[in-house]
Amino acid sequence: RYCHEKNLAVNPQGGNTGLVGGSVPVFDEIILSTALMNQIISFDKVSGILVCQAGCVLERLNEYLEEQGFIMPLDLGAKGSCHIGGNVATNAGGLRLLRYGSLRGTVLGLEVVLADGSALDCLTSLRKDNTGYDLKQLFIGSEGTLGVITAVSMLCPQKPKAVNLAFLGCQSFAKVLETFTTCRAMLGEILSAYEFMDEKCMELVERHLKLSSPVTDSPFYVLIETSGSNSTHDEEKLTNFLEQAMASGLVTDGTVATDEKKIKASHLRERITEALTHEGYVYKYDISLPVGKLYDLVTDVRARLGQSAKNVVGYGHLGDGNLHLNITAESYSHSLLDAIEPFVYEWTARCSGSISAEHGLGFKKKQFIQYSKPREAVVLMQQFKAMLDPKGILNPYKTLPSAP
């Protein structure tokens, strides 16, 4: 309210783990940190509904819920420091989306403070509420530009009693796709993650982090996770699937993870980002594409850049069509950036993809929104911004291109 009266710009900040500059001040904005708003307000063990403040760290929430036999519906690499308010503000994706859906479905209610300092209490704990417009959806994914999320009510799934991992090697991306189709058909409701990485990712993880892969010499690797309530039943399903995949030649090598291997196999996928940082400067792209075209972009970028890039790698959440395209070079180069952008965005737009699958637009990508949204949609977004934040004090210079 004070900032609104004095025309001072405000930058809401949670764990500051974003990758597009959404939580970082651009000029002289006042940083409004949610770090001290870290209380769990309530948890209902019957319904599985958690109500907590925005500054709660994701991993702490998950630990609290596990003691009660539940888990958070999202899981991502930054869980040790990201805040649930920031997760909701950016509609964060992550490793559990295939099983539990996006935050747009699991968040039931929000408490939000608007630009003028007034509090909007939509912190309902109801699964069903069909009274008027669903206002919380405006703030989920708005990156702090329409209001500051201060509390969240969300539906949490029960902790699976049995978790299994399979790590597989495939000879081509076509085989990765076929394996996914077979996997979905045979594992059904217990499939909780289907991640892929190319051999270049694996090579970097092994070289820089000294981790060894349980499967070797494959152009592509797949990590499958199942979560269920009956370990015997789940293991049987997974074994049947693996036998079928190996017999039909979809998979050339594979291993079902025991406890110790389980940790190693999941670490391989989670630590790709870390391995890439050892390579020098990393250009990162987070893209949604039709699943069949997912790896074509990596191939095309590799051909386009040739020797000017050190590495071009692709990995990601194949189950929900999300590619992480990473390009490494010894150091930042403007000419290399010009060769990558807008080529990557134009390629994505031609396939009707999204230039940001889960990281948002923030400061870095706001000017590229037209590759994923029609002009009419952007104008409507700018009108929402003008209505809810007429002075433009909330997280300025982020998410939307400047209004004409």
Q: Is residue 73 domain-shared with residue 12, that is, in the same domain?
A: yes
- 369, part of any domain: no
pLDDT at 264 over 80: no
Binned at pLDDT 50, 70 and 90, residue 402 comes out as: confident
Q: Mark whether 326 and 342 lie in a shared domain.
A: yes
Which of the listed residues 251, 273, 295 is the one where a domain comes to its end?
Answer: 273
pLDDT value of residue 96: 85
Q: What is the pLDDT of residues 184-230, one digit of tens each?
A: 999 999 999 999 999 999 999 999 988 888 888 899 999 999 999 89
Mean pLDDT of 309-336: 94
> pLDDT of 7-65, one tens digit each?
999 999 999 999 898 999 999 999 999 999 999 999 999 999 999 999 999 999 999 99
CATH no. for residue 303? 3.30.70.2740
Is 73 a domain residue? Answer: yes
Q: Is 129 inside any structural domain?
A: yes
Give strand pairing partners of 52.
Answer: 40, 152
Q: Is the pLDDT of residue 313 over 70?
A: yes
Mean pLDDT of 276-291: 94
237 pLDDT higher than 60: yes
pLDDT level of residue 265 (50, 70, 90 thresholds): low
Answer with the one of 273, 304, 323 that is the final residue of a domain: 273
Within this chain, do residues 292 and 256 fall inside the same structural domain, yes or no? Answer: no
The whole-number pLDDT of residue 135 equals: 95
Could you tell me if residue 74 is inside a domain? yes
Diameter over CA atoms, the chain: 70
Name, in order, each residue with C-beta under 8 angstroms of 154's C-beta and a sequence gap of 6 or more: 49, 50, 73, 84, 103, 106, 107, 108
**Model pLDDT, residue 403:** 65
Instruction: Kindly write down the DSSP assignment for every residue of 91-108, as one continuous string.
Output: T---TTHHHH--HHHHEE
By the 10 Å C-beta count (0-12 exposed, 13-18 middle, 19+ buried), 316 is classed as buried
- Please say if the pLDDT value at position 372 is more than 90: yes
Is the predicted pLDDT of residue 260 greater than 70, yes or no?
no
- Quote the CA–CA distance of 180 and 182 in Å, as a whole number: 5
Compute the distance between CA of residue 47 and CA of residue 61 in angstroms, rounded to an integer: 17
**148 near 112, Cβ under 8 Å?**
yes
Confidence class for position 352, pLDDT limits 50, 70, 90: very high
Amino acid at 72: M
- Structural domain that includes position 304: 280-360
Among residues 256, 273, 290, which one ends one of the domains? Answer: 273
Q: What's the total number of domains in the chain?
A: 3
Residues 200 and 342 in one domain: no
Higher pLDDT, 78 or 148: 148
Does residue 259 register a pLDDT over 70? no
d(CA 226, CA 93): 18
Q: Are 135 and 122 in contact (CB under 8 A)?
A: yes
Cβ burial of 188 (10 Å; 0-12, 13-18, 19+) is exposed
State the pTM of this model.
Answer: 0.90
Residue 404 pLDDT exceeds 90: no
Does some domain include residue 383? no
| H or E stretch covering 197 | strand 191-198
